[in-house]
Structure 1
Amino acid sequence: MRSWSLRRPDGVALVGESRGQGEPVVLVHATGMTRRAFAAAADQLARHLRVVTYDRRGWGDSRGKIEPQRWWATHGDDLIAVIESMGEAAEVVAWAGGSAAAIHAALRRPELVRRLVLFEPTIGAGPPRSRRLRHLRRSLAWAAVGEHRRSRAVFWRATTRRGTWSPATGHRGITCAFDHVRSDIREMLLNAPGPLADELRAGTEDALLERLAELRPEVHILLAGMSVREVYRIADRWVERCQTAGFRGEDDCDALLPLDRPRVFAACVLEMLGYADWRAIAAARLAELREVLRLPALERARVKCVRNSEVFVPDAVTGALRWDAEAESASASLVVGSTYEVTGVSAHELGVIDECGEDCGYPPGWFEPVAIDW
């Protein structure tokens, strides 16, 4: 990784980092973040591409002021300067508010932007609903009195909360992606230095929605399957206005996907840019699941079944447990003495392809390893 600094004509120095070799891609961070938000995903992308991350003007290490009426246009100009410094056109990946800077750059200098990948773009969101507007006003109020951590906490809870429906209780509830990420991620978001209040006042640049038809690069929109519904409505508007745009949702992921599941995010970006396929996404999901569950590396192995299942049910009259042969035959199809391939390992069960051809979990005590020459 190489650090760099790029001085702009007005004296502002943009600070960033470069990773890897190959085709260039620039990552543009969202509101309330710095380049650190893309660090883990950038490491994954750098295995295939030359990846550039930078702090937008005013955020992180890139100090500088912006005229409020030219907020996102100035960020777009800065992005153009970053791409020009690379010496060739680049792919651009932008998150949420950063998509406004990416669109400004692509409209002004289309020859510099090969393709756009936008994760949950906010352009076209319109005025926030009353509840979210109340939260954002609270965020601005806390910022005005110098309580920046509280301001950021309100902002992140407002922008990552979504409604849920519980079939068990039949009631709606609210969950928040910010409250469920690791503590170090929450601290990074709460402590990100930058003009949060000013950027919230600058808005989501909805006027750009009418200019999407002018875009020449391909536009790929990535959405979090578990995120707020509003982003899907925004994506619909994009596709209506931009013939080169298409979107997809990544299931079982929330609004902080690049932070809490960077391998999956990187695999999705690589697929959208044409450098990988869906199998890379499946492998990334498996790698992150293994890490979360602290599973050992999956090894190709075979085991021999040494016992049958035992299914007991209470007697209807006495209440005593008795063996139910029919229940056992219906619930297990393993044969004592037969060998099976292990497809997954955890502390509690083995994933085994059984006689029905299904990958089912069984207690480790049912098997013993079999030495086999592959």
Structure 2
Amino acid sequence: MRSWSLKRPDGVVLVGESRGQGEPVVLVHPTGMTRRGLAAAADHLAPHLRAVTYDRRGWGDSRGTPAPQRWWASHGDDLIAVIESMGEAAEVVAWAGSCAAAIHAALRRPDLVRQLVLFEPTIGAGPPRARRLRHLRRALTAAAAGDHRRSRAVFWRATTRRGTWSLQAGSRGLVCAFDHVRSDIRELLLDAPGPLAEELRAGTEDELLERLAELRPEVHILLGGTSVRPVYRIADRWVERCPSAGFRGEDDCDALLPLNRPRVFAACVLEMLGYADWRAIAAARLAELREVLRLPALERLRARCVRNSEVFMPHVVSATPRWAAELEAGSASLLVGSTYEVTGAGARSFGVIDECGEDYGYPPGWFEPVPIDWQER
């Protein structure tokens, strides 16, 4: 990793980091966060691209504050300067409010932006509804009183909460991603230094919606499955107004996907930019699952099938394998006598990973190792 700083003509100093080699991809952090929030995702992008992160002016280690009337346009100018300093055009990945900066940069200098990946863009959100307006006022009030941690907590709970409160369900109908992430992620969001109140007052640049048709780079919109409903409506508007736009949602991911699942986020970005395909996402999910469950290292070998294609699933209580007849019809048939690539933890169990990344588990007696050397590809 290489640290750098860039001084702008107006005295603003931008501080950032560069990881890896190859074609550049610039990650632009959202409101309420610094470059630290995208560091883990950049680490996973670095083996494939030169991943660049930086603190926008006023945030983190960078200095200077944009004029209120040109808030996101100033951040767009800074993004252009960062790309120019690299000497070649770059892919740009932006999150939430910073998508406005990315759009400003792409409209002004389309020659510098190859493609755009926008996670939960807020351009076109319009005035917040009553409930969100109350949260916004509470965040601004806390900031004015000097209680910045409380201000940020209100902001993140409001922007990552999905669901509707009702007399019947109460708060049980609400899901808040901020309240369910690891404590270190919460601390990162609560301690991020920067002009949160000023950026909230700057708005979401809704007028840029009218200029989306002018965009030359391809636009890819990524959403979490539990992202708030307004961002899905925004994505629909984008696709209507921008011929080069398309979007996808990751069903089991939330509004803080780049923070709490950076490997999956990086795999999605690589796929959207054309540097990998769906296998990268499947591999990222499997690696993440092993990490969360602290599974032992898996053996990888070739083995010959000696039984039929019954599918065994672990019992929810005893964890012992049991035959799941309802799953057999939908599984890929295993042919007795055929050789398969299998993975497993010691001699306890083996699994055949199919082309969709699903891992079907079988007892070890269903395979016998083939006496050949397995060469890593």
Matched with 1:218 is 218
**CA distance in structure 2 between the partners assigned to 1:86 and 1:51 by the alignment:** 11
**CA distance in structure 1 between the partners assigned to 2:115 and 2:210 by the alignment:** 19
Q: Which amino acid aligns with 2:76?
A: G
Matched with 1:77 is 77
Matches within 5 A, 1:114-133: 114-133=114-133
> 1:41-77 CA deviation, whole Å, 9 max, x = no partner?
0011010101110000000000212211110000000
Matched with 1:163 is 163
Aligned residues: 340
The structure-2 alpha-carbon separation of the partners of 1:330 and 1:37, relative to structure 1 and needing over 3 Å to count, comes to closer
**CA distance in structure 1 between the partners assigned to 2:112 and 2:22 by the alignment:** 16
3-state DSSP of counterpart to 1:285:
helix
The structure-2 alpha-carbon separation of the partners of 1:345 and 1:202, relative to structure 1 and needing over 3 Å to count, comes to same
Matched with 2:371 is 373
The answer as to whether partners of 2:300 and 2:344 remain within 8 angstroms in 1 is: no
Q: Which amino acid aligns with 1:228?
A: V
The structure-2 alpha-carbon separation of the partners of 1:91 and 1:342, relative to structure 1 and needing over 3 Å to count, comes to closer
Larger mean Cα displacement after TM superposition, 289-298 or 69-78: 289-298
Matches within 5 A, 1:37-76: 37-76=37-76
**CA distance in structure 2 between the partners assigned to 1:114 and 1:264 by the alignment:** 22
The answer as to whether partners of 2:99 and 2:122 remain within 8 angstroms in 1 is: yes
Matched with 1:322 is none
Task: Give the Å deviation of 1:373.
Answer: 2.5
**1:187 partnered with 2:165:** no
**CA distance in structure 2 between the partners assigned to 1:332 and 1:227 by the alignment:** 31
3-state DSSP of counterpart to 2:111:
helix
3-state DSSP of counterpart to 1:187:
helix
The structure-2 alpha-carbon separation of the partners of 1:213 and 1:330, relative to structure 1 and needing over 3 Å to count, comes to closer
The structure-2 alpha-carbon separation of the partners of 1:133 and 1:345, relative to structure 1 and needing over 3 Å to count, comes to farther
Matched with 2:92 is 92
Matches within 5 A, 1:1-374: 1-163=1-163, 173-300=173-300, 343-345=343-345, 350=349, 373-374=371-372
Matched with 1:319 is none
Task: Give the Å deviation of 1:271.
Answer: 0.5
Task: Give the Å deviation of 1:300.
Answer: 3.2
**CA distance in structure 2 between the partners assigned to 1:22 and 1:182 by the alignment:** 32
> 1:298-333 CA deviation, whole Å, 9 max, x = no partner?
21367999xxx9xxxxxxxxxxxxxxxxx9997999
> 1:206-242 CA deviation, whole Å, 9 max, x = no partner?
0101110111111010111121111110000001110
**CA distance in structure 1 between the partners assigned to 2:129 and 2:199 by the alignment:** 18
Task: Give the Å deviation of 1:119.
Answer: 0.5
Task: Give the Å deviation of 1:361.
Answer: 5.7
Q: Which amino acid aligns with 1:221?
A: I
Percent sequence identity over aligned pairs: 81
> 1:8-51 CA deviation, whole Å, 9 max, x = no partner?
01111000001111011111000000001110000110101011
The answer as to whether partners of 1:13 and 1:63 remain within 8 angstroms in 2 is: yes
Q: Which amino acid aligns with 2:371?
A: D
**CA distance in structure 2 between the partners assigned to 1:328 and 1:299 by the alignment:** 24
The structure-2 alpha-carbon separation of the partners of 1:343 and 1:73, relative to structure 1 and needing over 3 Å to count, comes to same
The answer as to whether partners of 2:299 and 2:346 remain within 8 angstroms in 1 is: no
**CA distance in structure 1 between the partners assigned to 2:231 and 2:324 by the alignment:** 48
The structure-2 alpha-carbon separation of the partners of 1:73 and 1:171, relative to structure 1 and needing over 3 Å to count, comes to closer
Tell which structure's C-alpha radius of gyration is larger: 1
TM-score normalised to structure 1 length? 0.83
Aligned alpha-carbon RMSD (Å): 3.1
3-state DSSP of counterpart to 2:234:
helix
The structure-2 alpha-carbon separation of the partners of 1:369 and 1:157, relative to structure 1 and needing over 3 Å to count, comes to same
Task: Give the Å deviation of 1:296.
Answer: 1.2
The answer as to whether partners of 1:2 and 1:19 remain within 8 angstroms in 2 is: yes
The answer as to whether partners of 1:351 and 1:359 remain within 8 angstroms in 2 is: no
Q: Which amino acid aligns with 1:187?
A: E
TM-score normalised to structure 2 length? 0.82
3-state DSSP of counterpart to 1:111:
coil
